Chain A
Amino acid sequence: MSPAEPRLWNSQRDRRISRPQAALFDQSLTASTVTLYLYSGTADGMFYKLTPTTGQPLYLQLMQQVRHAAETGALRDGDQLPGIRTLAEELVVSPNTVAKAYGELEHEGLLELRQGLGAFVCVKRRTRSLANDVNLARRRIRDLIEQLREDGLLDAEIRRAFEAELLYAAEAVRKR
C-alpha cells in the first residue's frame, strides 16, 4: 500500500509531457475541462479529456475513452496504460476514479491488471472492426447534420438536440 519512497513529485519532475502553460490558465478560467496530453512509453500520444460538469461520472468518461482508443486502434493489444497513481496525478483526479475505471475495464476484459506491473490492453479481434463502425457512424452523423442545417437549424440547436437525446437515452438505458 505505502511505498517506502513516496513519489509525490514525479508529475512535476520526470513527466515526459508537454503541457502547454496556457492550458493551466484556460482551466482556471473555464474551470470545466481537464485536457492533458499524455505520453507514456507504450501508449504514445494518448489523449484523455475528462469533463467534470457533463453529468457523467469521471470513471465512466475515462472508461469510454480507453475503450474508444482500443476500438480505433490508438491503443493496441499489449500496450501498457499509465499506473493508477501516475494517471490520477496527470489528470488531477482522485486515484479512486482511475482505480474504478481500470477495475471495470478489467471486468469487461479490455484490460489486464498485473500486480505491481500495471495495466495492459487486451484487444480481441472483434473490437478492431468497431473502428469501421465508428467511421461509418461519423459519416451518417455528418449527413444528418448537413440535412438539419438545410432545414434551417443552427449548430447550437443541433448540438442541444443531440445532447438532450443522448442524455435521455443514457438515462433510459440505465433505468432498465
Chain B
Amino acid sequence: MTNEAVILTQGLTKSYGNREAVRALNLSVGRNRITAFLGRNGAGKSTTIKVLLGMVRATAGGGTVLGKQITDKKANLDMRRRVAYVAEDKPLYGYMTVEQTISFARSFYSDWRTNVERQLLRDYELPTRQKIKQLSKGMRTKLALLLAFARRPELLILDEPSDGLDPVGIENLLQTLVAQSADGVTVFFSSHQIAEVERVADHVCILEKGCLAVDAPLDELRQSYRRIDLVFSFPAPEREFRISGVERIRTSGHQMSVLASRNAEALVERAHRLNAVSVEVAPVGLREIFLETVKEN
C-alpha cells in the first residue's frame, strides 16, 4: 500500500516549439510520503506539474495521477476533485477580498473543512476585509495555502509553497505539511528551500534540464553520499579513483577531493592501499548534492 505510486509517468515529454521543457520523464511518487521536487529555475518543475494536472497537454508519453490517465478529460476531472494544488504564481482574483475569496473557493469543494479554515485564518493573521491586490506576496502565498489546506485531499501538489514567506511562515508551512502527512495526505512539492526540504522530505527528485537527475529516498542519499579528502606524499593518483559511484574528483598537487554517490568504503580502502597520508570522510548535505547535480552539465 505504501509503495503504491500516486503519480506515475512514462516518457512524459513537453515541448514548446523546438525547446523541450520536459524530456522523457519517468516519475514515480509514492503514496503517504513527502516528496520534494527540486531543480533550478527553468528546469521544468512547473511544466511537469501542469502536465500532471492536465492543465498543459503533453507532447509525448503519458501517465496517471491517483490512477487516472492525465490525458483523459473525464478522468482528469475526477482526479482534480481529490487533489489540492497551489500554483507557482498563486493566481487569485485581485478585486476580491480575502473573505470573498475564501467563501468563493469553499463553494467548489465538498471536502472543505470550515474549522481548519478558521484556524488558518487566525494563524496566518490574514486581513479578511482587504482586497487581494493590496496583499503582500507573503500574504498572497498564505491565502493560496489556506485554500488548499482547508480541503481534505488525497494528494497535495504545491509549486513553490514557501515563496515570499518569512522564516516563521516557512516554519508554520512545514509543520502543516507534516500534519497533513500524518493525516494520510501524500505531499508533492517543489522548492528552492533546500535546508527545509532536508528536514521534512522522505524522498527527493532533482530535475535538471527536463530530466530526472536524482530520484532517491533522502535517507539513502544521506547514507551513501560522501566527500573523501585525501593527501598523498606524491602527486595525487586521480586515475586510480575513477570507479563507479564517483561523481567528481578535484585534484590540486598532492591533494584530492572525491565526491562519491556510493562506494565510499571501496574508495577509502583504495586510498589506504595507495598509502594516502591523510584520509578524511565527510557526509554531504543535500545542498551540495543539488549543486553538484545541476553543475554537471
Contacts and interface: CB of A to CB of B under 8 A. Distances in A.
A154 interface: no
Nearest to A7: B179
B198 A24 contact: no
A3 B185 CA distance: 12
Given A92-B199, A164-B280, A53 B264 contact: no
B268 to A, nearest CB: 6
B182 A53 contact: no
Interface majority SS on B: helix, strand, loop or mixed?
A: helix
A58 B219 contact: yes
Interface in B146-197: 149, 152, 167-168, 170-172, 174-176, 178-184, 195
Nearest to A34: B199
B15 interface: no
Contact of A92 (B32, B178, B223, B225): B178
Interface stretch (A38-46, A65-73, A166-174): A166-174
B171 A92 contact: yes
A6 B172 CA distance: 16
A94 B179 contact: no
B248 interface: no
B238 interface: no
Contacts of A2: 152, 183-184
The contact size tier of chain B is: 35 or more
B175 A89 contact: yes
Contact of B33 (A8, A96, A171): A96
Interface in A5-37: 5-9, 11-12, 24-25, 27-28, 31-32, 34
Interface string B253-297: 000000000001100100000000001111111100000000000
A31 B183 contact: no
Contacts of B281: 164, 167-168, 171
Interface string B63-95: 000000000000000000000000000000000
A58 B202 CA distance: 10
A102 interface: no
Contacts of B174: 92
A3 B279 CA distance: 52
A9 B123 contact: yes
Contacts of A55: 222-223, 225-226, 282-284
A93 B176 contact: no
B219 A57 contact: yes
A90 to B, nearest CB: 9
B67 to A, nearest CB: 18
Contacts of A11: 175, 179
A103 interface: no
A170 B139 CA distance: 46
B199 A93 contact: yes
B27 interface: no
Contacts of B201: 94
Contacts of A8: 116, 119-120, 149, 176, 179-180
B113 interface: yes
Given A3-B183, A12-B123, 13 more contacts: A2-B183, A5-B115, A9-B179, A24-B167, A28-B167, A53-B285, A55-B226, A57-B219, A94-B34, A94-B181, A167-B283, A171-B268, A172-B265
8 contacts: A5-B115, A8-B149, A9-B123, A53-B285, A55-B223, A55-B282, A93-B178, A171-B265
Interface of B: 32-34, 113, 115-116, 119-120, 123, 149, 152, 167-168, 170-172, 174-176, 178-184, 195, 198-202, 219, 222-223, 225-226, 264-265, 268, 279-286
